[in-house]
Amino acid sequence: MRRHVLGVTALVAFLAGWIAGSGCFSIRVATSSPNPTAPATPFQVATPASPPMAQRASTPASTAISAPAPAPDGDFATAIENVAQQVTPAVVYVAVRSIVPSLFGFGQIQQGIGSGVIFDARGYILTNDHVIAGAQEIQVVLGDGRQFTGRVIGRSPANDIAVVKIDGDNLPVATLGDSDQLRVGQWVVAIGNALGLEGGPTVTAGVVSALNRTIAPSPGEAAFGPLIQTDAAINPGNSGGPLVNLQGEVVGINTAKIQTAEGIGFAIPINKAKEIVQQLLEARPRPYLGITSVSVTPALAAAYGLPVSRGVLVIDVESGGPADQAGVQPGDIIVRLDDRDIANGDDLQAALGMHQPGDEVTLVVNRNGREISLRVTLGTAPVVQ
């Protein structure tokens, strides 16, 4: 029995240690980097006959913000300054810990950074899906220094849009504009946490260089668009931050840049983002436990002396989540949910799919060789489209 305890402890510590250590192209996507100093992943540039590929630019506060009056012709410096003062408070820094594929088929967690913009006083934040994809923990920092734990409300990987929510009072809110009114040559301002530099968001200015662009994130992937092209500087860490017109309205969500060229960045039109947000917020809720886990196999059990050769090993438990409140612990092996045996992760997902958020279920776990029954009230899972 002692061998079992040490085996589970060693395996969970091994996996959790990986998790705790892990948060622009050839085309580069303006995306979250594994750490603030690591270079973004390069991609090969597409040939002229195919859509160019991009690298995501990630790194990431909001009370309604009144739009500044347009500056007189030629007074662009004043207009940009006004926009920066008006919108920057609603731009947040997003820090994540995410699971990425690693050795032996386990997940290794890396730290990444990105940006976001609060668009609703209830604490809803618009960002890129690639900023929060796989996140086990999301920390949101506002420009005034307040920090919140963020939770994913919904995701649309195909459109690189995600909605995160924080719970706070007196949040600054940015105004969403109408991207259909954009014109080539129009001045815009990009705001975001470029490279994760200290001291708050970075503000850059440029023009709308083109509309309805299409890019491919990497070779073999489907084309992504339509996008706004801009020469306002977008760098890793900017992903999820707003592209703003001179009226202080968000007209795009920054997502990518071309590494091998100067002044070529891309943003998702805000009208497209608004459509996706509406779909995400209206989607049918799904139940969840709030755990990070891996399937137990006979080989894994033999290597680490686990007490059972089938089941779902709990690596991490979301603080305050349904499993945490029920007493589930890292190292527990889930072997049954109600009357259904659980041999792997697919079995667990299928069993959860038979229930609704708010349902109470009996979770049977093997803890150090002994089976324990726990009553869990299921929570609501983030939406993925």
Strand, coil or helix: 302:
helix
Phi-psi region of 72 (alpha: psi -120 to 50; beta: other; left: phi over 0): beta
Residue 275, classed as helix, strand or coil, is helix
The verdict on whether omega for the bond into residue 36 sits within 30 degrees of 0, i.e. cis, is: no
As beta bridge partners, residue 175 has 249
- Within 8 A by CB and 6+ apart from 168, the residues are 123, 146, 148
Active site residues: 130, 160, 239
Question: What letter does residue 195 receive in the DSSP assignment?
Answer: G
User: Are 225 and 158 in contact, with CB atoms under 8 Å apart?
Assistant: no
Which residues, listed in sequence order, are joined to residue 162 by a DSSP beta bridge?
Answer: 127, 155
Q: How far is CA 113 from CA 25, 31, 58, 241, 369, in A?
A: 19, 8, 6, 12, 40
Q: Say if strands 151-156 and 161-165 run parallel, antiparallel, or are unpaired.
A: antiparallel
Locate tokens 């032996």: which residue?
104
Residues 6+ apart with CB under 8 A from 106: 15, 18, 294
Tokens 């990009």: give the residue.
190
Which residue do the tokens 């006004």 mark? Answer: 82
**Residue type at 250 in one-letter notation:** V
161 close to 129: Cβ distance less than 8 angstroms = yes
Estimate the share of the chain in helix, then strand, then coil, as percent rounded to the nearest 5: 20, 40, 40
For residue 324, the one-letter residue type is D
Q: What does DSSP say about strands 249-257 and 175-176: parallel, antiparallel, or unpaired? A: parallel
